[in-house]
Structure 1
Amino acid sequence: MNYRHAFHAGNFADCLKHSLLVWIVRALGRKPAPFRVLDTHAGAGAYDLGSEAARRGGEWQAGIGRLLGVTEGPLADYAALARDSGAPARYPGSPELVRALLRPEDRLVCVELHPEEHAALRARFRADPRVSVHRRDGWEALRALTPFPERRGLVLMDPPFERPGEFERLAEGLSVVARRFRGAVQAAWYPIKHRAPARAFHAAVEASGLRDAVAAELWLREPTDPARLNGCGLLVTNPPWGFEAEARGVLAALEGRLGAGEAGQGWAVTRVAEE
């Protein structure tokens, strides 16, 4: 429980994850039936970019700091939500972004184990009846809180990857939800330091029998250094119609704005498992 996202809030990895998350939640809202979102590693909900932690890392300046002026194209919706939430003074985490997109009939369930971040999350959403906050292990919550009463929605898994075995837990979590809640959209974030762990993760997802899985990946430098976050990906199962095309546009726009022209930077949208 040592990980604190405040050091990394608004960095390029958040930009990838959150720009795609916004599109997915918008897509769920296109149908009239209510939906629910379960965020298994919710964090504090929002982050002060002027805090000591954020200043020490300064990662947001090469991330959301480069996107706040965007008003057109595939990043415009995400950038507008970040501005509406107070950026560049304050960066919205995934719970804050999802909450901004909920209709009165929709629901958000946030799970966070870290005591201080859980307390911040509860305080932030105390007055919103659409949002519930749990202090529990995110992996245990997959079994306890699925399937949803609404029978449709999104499960977002964004573990901190501070312990060994996180890729294996992520693959198992996807399988657990698929068995319990066949129709759920699932989105799983993962780091790319070097290629082997991500490839093994994709192979495990395919071998598990999961269907209709797409990986959207961005790397800002050649992913060959296991000690450095060179890129990241979001693996989505049961993606809403149009996701692959949208993801290509988002990734190309992110590379154009966040890339520094380093050797090996790039992006890819890969079908990991067929429908």
Structure 2
Amino acid sequence: MNYRHAYHAGNHTEVFKHSILVFLLEHLTQKMQPFFVLDTHAGIGMYDLESNQALLTGEKADGIEKIYDIGIPSCQRYLDIIVSVNAGPLKYYPGSPEISRQMLRPTDRLIACELHPDDYFALQSRYRSDRRVTIQNRSGYEAINALVPPVERRGLVFIDPPFEQKDEVQQMISALNKGMRKWATGIFCLWYPIKGSKIGDAIADAVVSAQHPKSLRIEFLPFRKDGENLAGSGIIICNTPWKLDEWARSLCQDISSKLGDRNGTWSVKWLTAEGGAQ
């Protein structure tokens, strides 16, 4: 499938994955030492929910629009960030690089990669004045191999591709395995869309086969799977922070009552423990 961010900004998959991104970043800010974030498929950083692309799909209506002005304890920091980029009613939605940038401290770093020329220039223009942020026009998968481990020795790799390539899953798995070999203590977070089960199962099988430690699989499906439409999405995290599994259950329970047709499902499952298979 093709998942260009501009067409899906603020939908239910964005609410889910960006809430998890915020949790991971909050975890990293709990220690004084600087941290590093690599965003492999950054997009443009900020999305106009009244743009032609967003209006074409109208997906915000089953996502951020339903929870923008209500309090949800499990994802309140995420919602606060959405509110911060809107001077009143909901109009703009921050992508992953903007969410990360907002949570950086003065000594932290973000490298955001984007291959699409127009998106790269938009991203470069938006962040050129922020010295903590570097924008690179390169493959995010290649960047993992080139840029880890970072000098900070702690941080996050956020892998959120548009699934435009036929071999996207294989590229994700290869990049993850290379990255984990070079940076065994880094947090790696991989997102995937759900229509059927093949993508998530393939990544999960690879993670178990490689025995990447503390690997957690979270799926949130606000709609029933029919094999055709976007039912939900999943996240697989390696080197999962403490208590993320408990929080993820609270998140999914909270948002499942607000999003979709209320016939959906969610799951939080360990793939591997700290020392190997769970």
- Normalised by the length of structure 2, the TM-score is 0.94
Partner Cα separation in structure 2 for residue 246 and residue 115 of structure 1: 37
Q: Classify the secondary structure of the residue corresponding to 1:250.
A: helix
- The aligned residue for residue 237 of structure 2 is 236
- The aligned residue for residue 259 of structure 2 is 258
- The aligned residue for residue 63 of structure 1 is 63
Give, in angstroms, the shift of residue 41 of structure 1.
0.3
- The aligned residue for residue 218 of structure 2 is 216
Give, in angstroms, the shift of residue 221 of structure 1.
2.4
User: Structure 1 residues 147, 93: CA separation in 2 closer, same or farther (over 3 Å shift)?
Assistant: same
Bigger shift: residues 149-158 or 55-64: 55-64
- Aligned Cα RMSD in Å? 1.3
Identity of aligned residues (%): 38
Long gaps (5+) in structure 1? none
Partner Cα separation in structure 2 for residue 130 and residue 48 of structure 1: 24
Partner Cα separation in structure 2 for residue 58 and residue 72 of structure 1: 23
- The aligned residue for residue 271 of structure 1 is 270
Are the counterparts in 2 of residues 81 and 97 from structure 1 also a CA contact under 8 Å? yes
Which of 127, 133, 136 is the matching residue for 1:134?
136
Give, in angstroms, the shift of residue 222 of structure 1.
2.6
Partner Cα separation in structure 2 for residue 254 and residue 104 of structure 1: 32
In the alignment of these two chains, the number of paired residues is: 271
- The aligned residue for residue 116 of structure 2 is 114
Structure 1, residues 126-161: CA drift from partner, whole Å, max 9, x if none?
110000000001111111111111000000000111
Give, in angstroms, the shift of residue 80 of structure 1.
1.0
Long gaps (5+) in structure 2? none
2:56 is the counterpart of 1:44? no
Partner Cα separation in structure 1 for residue 71 and residue 125 of structure 2: 32
- The aligned residue for residue 181 of structure 1 is 183
Q: Classify the secondary structure of the residue corresponding to 1:74.
A: helix
Are the counterparts in 1 of residues 11 and 64 from structure 2 also a CA contact under 8 Å? yes
- Normalised by the length of structure 1, the TM-score is 0.95
Bigger shift: residues 227-236 or 66-75: 66-75
Partner Cα separation in structure 2 for residue 81 and residue 159 of structure 1: 22
Give, in angstroms, the shift of residue 165 of structure 1.
2.1
- The aligned residue for residue 24 of structure 1 is 24
Bigger shift: residues 2-11 or 98-107: 2-11
- The aligned residue for residue 199 of structure 2 is 197
Q: Classify the secondary structure of the residue corresponding to 1:140.
A: helix
Structure 1, residues 198-253: CA drift from partner, whole Å, max 9, x if none?
2232112111221210011101223241x221111111111111111111111111
Give, in angstroms, the shift of residue 71 of structure 1.
2.6
